[in-house]
Structure 1
Amino acid sequence: MVTGQHRTSPHETSDQHVIGQRGTDQARLSQDDHGPGDSPGGGDSPGDDAGVGAYRRAWERAASDPAEFWADAARAVTWTRPPRRVLDADRPPFYRWFPDAELNTCANALDRHVDAGRGSDLALIHDSPVTGTIRRYTFTELTDEVARAAGALAALGVRRGDRVIIYLPMIPAAVISMLACARLGAVHSVVFGGFAPAELAARIDDARAKVVVSASCGLEPNRIVAYKPMLDEAIALAAHPPEHTLIVARPQQPAPLVPGRDHDWDAALAAATPHPPVPVAATDPLYILYTSGTTGRPKGIVRDNGGHAVAMAWSMGNVYGIRAGDVMWAASDVGWAVGHSYTVYAPLLAGATTVLYEGKPVGTPDAGAFWRVVAEHGVNVLFTAPTAIRAIRREDPNGDLPGRYDLSGLRALFLAGERLDPATCDWASTTLGIPVIDNYWQTETGWPIASSPLGLEPLPVKAGSPSLPMPGYDVRVLDDTGRPVPAGVEGALCLRLPLPPGTLPTLWGDDERYAASYLRAFDGFYLTGDGGYLDDDGYLFVLGRTDDVINVAGHRLSTGSMEAVLAEHPAIAECAVVGVADPLKGQVPRGLVVVKAGVEIDPAVLAADLVARVRERIGPVAVFRRVDVVTALPKTRSGKILRRTMREIADGRSPAVPPTIEDPAVLDALRPVLRAH
């Protein structure tokens, strides 16, 4: 590793690309302000010791001259007014990418592929095991449908800058309505179907939505979820109700329409005049995505048009290795960031085929559901959550089901959303025989902070790590005083400003809240809220939210480290560790584990074994004494385990059930276990 070499700060960009002057607090990195992978004496780039080439060159270019790097990346986008300036740094910490440019995101995702002669290529596959149907759209067909949907919205008064709430199940209308809003220059906000009326009303009010697009119902494997009554209740609760709704009528449960307010989707599109794309400023918002589990006024993450299109196009090819004509399946609801980025926008921007799946990893009909979809549609890259793979592994621990399908086209499995434990990674890698790639990012960033860039240069994988920071991200681990910590030492994971294109520029209608939530903890840095460390090679290890660090008799311990030990046990399918209040120690850890299907083991014997393993690996200081074997762990619909909620229940509090919970009955069943001491 090279030492003593100063690495240019991301703020030291070429003046021809940057507006405004940078203050002295943003000038140069000091010699002791190291980047990921730097030695304690300095250094130049992440991964010096990892034997990387194309990756390192890209990361260094993005770090030394981000404006030039992203100007090159912007050439993959079709602009109605190309950018002459790349980065506006005039009002730090509120940076803006491509401030003088103009484009239309929908035209980039659809029309330009048709214009290039690829109209007959497949754009969207809707696979719905809950209805037993599959529908395919070419780029021409999808463009025509989106243009009509845009015309229908325009007929209801939607114009550039207006907001539209989309409250739909995983049906084609969800993708079509998102793209139709983008076509008009309107701002969409997707709220996943089945969200509680009060939470939906809060989002309607915060966005001041002019129109809501919804459906009569959603379908789960064993039940019908009535959307329309919940929407009606939300509108009644809203202080600023929408002027109109568009309702997709599903035959499983029709719903009455309110005259004058509600409009049938099919009839509206049939009567609509197709609408052309409306050019918008690159800095105009494309969508608002409200973060899960919010209380009070919801926190709306804003995604702009220009930076988003550039980041999606770059990441699609370089991170995921997807090119025009490939098939990408991101098995995530469109109400979550993965669904926005890699189910809808990124594949279509790249000219690839995207799969929209209305089903579950298990239960529709079995744990082979994912492999059936991969085989039937020729999926090249699958992106899902570790939780989904753990659910599949629990039902098929020996990995028998993938062998029943032709998975020869599947090049890689990407996982994100929860920490990827080595046992799950090993099972998937051994079972599928392909690279299993962890990638770490957030709703706020919109695309991976760290990964192994399959399309740029696959990196050596380290168990438990999402690999190295992607170009554009300068990851630092800081202590409580804001100073960088040595390699291997845990701290707060932070991103040096400016963030790359595609990340949030602010929160909807609230710059102050954005700054207070993310930017004020450490000057010049974005606070991820996660804790972790960088190793000697610059590899990132994410140990969980910083509020999952517990204080046991004065010792700060990561519950993520304890979970890693539990997950290594061959009988464990899933696990969680939460810190609960203790009158003597302050906090003590509690473990909850789910056993793999078909495994017969005495819970007491298993608990004793797990306690011994944690004491051996973490030490007696962890005071890890209790493990409960449970049938399931409570999760959000995106697959995140509700650790904070479980901790509050164990502490004797009565937290509200998060509106994003997938199955409230799981949490109810755990309450007596958590409250037992």
Structure 2
Amino acid sequence: MNEEKVNLKAPVYIPDSSYRDYRWMGDYETVYRESVENPEKFWEDIAGELEWDKKWDNVLEWDYPDARWFSGAKLNITANCLDRHVNNSRKNKVAIIWRGDDGCERVFTYRQLFREVMRFANGLKKLGIKKGDRICFYMPFVPEHIIAILACARIGAVHTIVYAGFGSDSLHQRIVDSEAKLVITADVSIRRGKRIDLKSIVDEAIVNAPSVERIIVYRRTKPEIELYAEMELDYYSLIKGESFHCDPEIMDAEDPLFILYTSGTTGVPKGILHTCGGYMVGTYYTSKYVFDIKDSDVYWCTADPGWITGHSYLVYGPLAVGATILFSETTPDYPDLGVWWEMVEDFGVTILYTAPTAIRMFMKYGESWPDKYNLESLRILGSVGEPLNPEAFEWFYRVIGKSKLPIVDTWWQTETGMHMITTIVGQPMKPGFAGKPIPGVVADIVDNEGNPVEPGKKGKLVIKAPWPSMMRDVWNNRERYEHYWNDIPGCYTVGDMAVKDKDGYIMIIGRSDDVIIVSGHNIGSAEVESALVDHKAVSESAVVGIPDDLKGNLIVAYVILKEGFTGGEKLENELKYHVRMTLGPISMPSDIRFVQSLPKTRSGKIMRRVLRAQEMGVDPGDLSTLED
């Protein structure tokens, strides 16, 4: 591995000392040191903040690469998300606030949410659904989605959620692989004022899917669509007359909780398996200690439940903490570019967790929209999905945070289940750097042989010790699970290139398959993209490497311009020169293509391999997560 130095100069922003003085985390350095010196005690103390039907025999049983966390423990995750709040002072606290695409609003207290979950859980039991059965979701972003998720967990059924933007082939693939017994869907989702038919997609997806016995349909439009009585049930007819009480299924800590499919570079998506106990501890811990959620907060995670961010930081983690959660099916640019900021003002949002792609979209249209609204309620900002490039960080910090709010730029994966690296609230922030490993996580930057590289040099990001919310397997594919652990012996290899500065802050350079080797030098796609976005004309960019006989690869850049700028030879040369002066001649793109959009997953990640395949005229592989 070529280990050329990376320019790590970055400004440092320090939030007001009150964030550090009053956060749940306490002193980061002390807590981190204690977590490394005695990890089992650290995680046992966190787990002790939650309720268990039976305590564990052992905190960790580690048989590389397999872990058993809190072995022997018994629990139900919904008892911690619902019952323990209903049985204390949060009974009538607002649990979830929902705003629809048309502006309508619905509010559920913890008591009301508990009752709705119980009714649906009893309805599922009436259908014969039991512990271990797989249930596939293809739902719009509505409260019934969250209610049904929790109801599945209540009775021990394993949910697999498919984002309601996937086509029938992708849905079929996931139904068949998980052998789902039941599908929960709706007649339509609503996006930008338009109805999008979901039911017909489900009808196509269940053809040649023999495991499916019934379909539950949440009908939200009038006149109601007709259902086929032999197989289909109306959501509210199912729960009519059901009891508001349902005893939780007692689960072993290592029992499956859910399967979530994530895209692979080729072939079928990977079904990442998470289990009950460790996942509960990890998402509770990070929701409380990374977001610093207090009882007075209004927390808004903009992710859909169909993604791991929605699982961990919309549903399970914040509800385990007892937070008030805002969620909405509104898109950030409909009916106008002020809709999100209007919601921050209307609901008094204090914690906003969103994706860099949304931040860069707002950057493209300038400051006038957020400046129309009062954003003073905000106290913490968060980023998720891909590296938050320095220019987007600066804009987020200055325009939305008014140059005073902490930004937690979180690095983690579907496979990790929880945050792994970030800048803890109150710590000094460095644009472009995610931050340090959180207490309980042992991360490092290493070469191909697993040797730590010195600060300033690129290497592979690895995790060197197990953590509670780690995936337990890839559903029906043990080989793909072991692949994560076989690249560098003794380590979980995350697939990202990274670099660490002298203070231990980690910068994610990009996926290891997004590193471009030019004349023997490793060029991180994120570095070049960040340099391009640093130019006043550029809103967003993506770069890929194209094979070249002389240099190994040439860099081709795709660029979206801000309003008021026009592409052409003059601007192309100016951008090339800008990259040359920022990163050096080796990183300068050979070609720049001006485009209106980039291929992205529905969670906002740029799919660079699609661009690379397009340039080379080859099959791009699995496209099931592609937005458009």
Same fold? TM cut 0.5: yes
Distance in 2 between residues matched to 1:93 and 1:662, nearest whole Å = 34
Query: TM-score if structure 2 supplies the norm length?
Result: 0.92
Q: 1:564 aligns with which of 530, 536, 542?
A: 530
After superposition, residues 634-649 of structure 1 pair within 5 angstroms as 634-649=599-614
**Residue 316 (structure 1) aligns with:** 287
Distance in 1 between residues matched to 2:579 and 2:56, nearest whole Å = 54
After superposition, residues 485-496 of structure 1 pair within 5 angstroms as 485-496=453-464
* Contact in 1 for aligned 2:462/2:492 (Cα 8 Å): yes
**Residue 75 (structure 2) aligns with:** 103
Distance in 2 between residues matched to 1:216 and 1:429, nearest whole Å = 40
Distance in 2 between residues matched to 1:226 and 1:659, nearest whole Å = 18
**Residue 179 (structure 1) aligns with:** 150
Distance in 2 between residues matched to 1:596 and 1:445, nearest whole Å = 35
Residues 1:526 and 1:586: Cα distance change in structure 2 (over 3 Å): same
**Residue 206 (structure 1) aligns with:** 177
Q: Does 1:409 align with 2:384?
A: no
* Contact in 2 for aligned 1:76/1:313 (Cα 8 Å): no
Distance in 1 between residues matched to 2:338 and 2:468, nearest whole Å = 37
Segments of 5+ residues of structure 2 without an aligned counterpart are 1-19
Q: Give the CA deviation at 1:273.
A: 3.5
Q: Does 1:83 align with 2:56?
A: yes
**Residue 472 (structure 1) aligns with:** 440
- 1:74-106 deviation digits (Å, cap 9, x = unpaired): 1111111122421112x2220111011111111
**Residue 577 (structure 1) aligns with:** 543
**Residue 62 (structure 1) aligns with:** 35
Q: Does 1:159 align with 2:126?
A: no
Output the amino acid matched with 2:465: L
**Residue 595 (structure 1) aligns with:** 561
Q: 1:264 aligns with which of 227, 234, 240?
A: 234
After superposition, residues 40-51 of structure 1 pair within 5 angstroms as none
- 1:591-628 deviation digits (Å, cap 9, x = unpaired): 1111122x234533321111012222332233522212
Output the amino acid matched with 2:227: L
Q: Give the CA deviation at 1:268.
A: 0.5
Q: Secondary structure at the match of 1:636?
A: coil
Distance in 2 between residues matched to 1:393 and 1:299, nearest whole Å = 34
Q: Secondary structure at the match of 2:107?
A: strand
Q: Secondary structure at the match of 1:345?
A: helix
Distance in 2 between residues matched to 1:344 and 1:507, nearest whole Å = 22
**Residue 114 (structure 1) aligns with:** 86
Q: Does 1:435 align with 2:406?
A: yes
After superposition, residues 245-284 of structure 1 pair within 5 angstroms as 245-251=215-221, 254-274=224-244, 275-284=246-255
After superposition, residues 159-558 of structure 1 pair within 5 angstroms as 159-221=130-192, 223-238=194-209, 240-251=210-221, 254-274=224-244, 275-293=246-264, 295-362=266-333, 364-395=334-365, 397=366, 399-432=367-400, 433=402, 434-454=405-425, 458-498=426-466, 500-516=467-483, 518-558=484-524
Distance in 2 between residues matched to 1:263 and 1:602, nearest whole Å = 54
Distance in 2 between residues matched to 1:327 and 1:295, nearest whole Å = 40
Q: Secondary structure at the match of 1:112?
A: helix
Output the amino acid matched with 1:72: D
* Contact in 2 for aligned 1:394/1:596 (Cα 8 Å): yes
Q: How many residues align?
A: 601
RMSD after superposition? 1.8
Q: Secondary structure at the match of 1:574?
A: strand
Q: 1:627 aligns with which of 582, 592, 603?
A: 592
Distance in 1 between residues matched to 2:102 and 2:93, nearest whole Å = 25
Q: Give the CA deviation at 1:308.
A: 1.4
- 1:334-356 deviation digits (Å, cap 9, x = unpaired): 11011111111111111111112
Q: Give the CA deviation at 1:224.
A: 2.3
Q: Does 1:608 align with 2:598?
A: no
Q: Secondary structure at the match of 2:544?
A: strand
Residues 1:253 and 1:97: Cα distance change in structure 2 (over 3 Å): farther
Distance in 1 between residues matched to 2:242 and 2:181, nearest whole Å = 18
- 1:264-305 deviation digits (Å, cap 9, x = unpaired): 001111143442211111111111111135653431111211
Residues 1:505 and 1:115: Cα distance change in structure 2 (over 3 Å): same
Output the amino acid matched with 1:109: C
Q: Does 1:149 align with 2:104?
A: no
* Contact in 2 for aligned 1:155/1:272 (Cα 8 Å): no
* Contact in 2 for aligned 1:420/1:464 (Cα 8 Å): yes
* Contact in 1 for aligned 2:348/2:378 (Cα 8 Å): yes
Distance in 2 between residues matched to 1:211 and 1:252, nearest whole Å = 25
Q: Give the CA deviation at 1:487.
A: 1.1
Q: Which moved more, 1:216-225 or 1:341-350?
A: 216-225
Q: Secondary structure at the match of 2:565?
A: coil
Residues 1:633 and 1:95: Cα distance change in structure 2 (over 3 Å): same
Q: Does 1:71 align with 2:77?
A: no
After superposition, residues 658-669 of structure 1 pair within 5 angstroms as 658-663=623-628
- 1:130-186 deviation digits (Å, cap 9, x = unpaired): 233110001111000000110111111111111111110101111011100111111
Distance in 2 between residues matched to 1:313 and 1:621, nearest whole Å = 45
Output the amino acid matched with 2:461: L
- 1:444-493 deviation digits (Å, cap 9, x = unpaired): 11221111222xxx211111001111112111112122222111110111
* Contact in 2 for aligned 1:217/1:253 (Cα 8 Å): no
* Contact in 1 for aligned 2:117/2:150 (Cα 8 Å): yes
* Contact in 1 for aligned 2:102/2:193 (Cα 8 Å): no
Segments of 5+ residues of structure 1 without an aligned counterpart are 1-49, 664-677
After superposition, residues 19-38 of structure 1 pair within 5 angstroms as none
Distance in 1 between residues matched to 2:282 and 2:619, nearest whole Å = 41
RCO greater where, 1 or 2, for CA within 8 Å and sep 6 or more?
A: 2
Q: Give the CA deviation at 1:254.
A: 4.3
Query: What percentage of residue pairs aligned between the two structures are identical?
Result: 38
* Contact in 1 for aligned 2:266/2:621 (Cα 8 Å): no
Output the amino acid matched with 2:475: W
Distance in 1 between residues matched to 2:323 and 2:316, nearest whole Å = 10
**Residue 6 (structure 2) aligns with:** none
- 1:189-213 deviation digits (Å, cap 9, x = unpaired): 1111131112111111121111111
Residues 1:372 and 1:586: Cα distance change in structure 2 (over 3 Å): same
- 1:325-375 deviation digits (Å, cap 9, x = unpaired): 42111100111011111111111111111112101111x211111111111
Q: Which moved more, 1:334-343 or 1:646-655?
A: 646-655
**Residue 9 (structure 2) aligns with:** none
* Contact in 1 for aligned 2:579/2:588 (Cα 8 Å): no
* Contact in 2 for aligned 1:170/1:334 (Cα 8 Å): yes
Q: Secondary structure at the match of 2:337?
A: coil
Distance in 1 between residues matched to 2:233 and 2:318, nearest whole Å = 31
Output the amino acid matched with 1:386: P
- 1:562-599 deviation digits (Å, cap 9, x = unpaired): 112111112211111111122433310011111122x2
Q: Secondary structure at the match of 1:137?
A: strand
Output the amino acid matched with 1:106: T
Q: Secondary structure at the match of 1:132?
A: coil
Q: Which moved more, 1:318-327 or 1:534-543?
A: 318-327
Residues 1:655 and 1:589: Cα distance change in structure 2 (over 3 Å): same
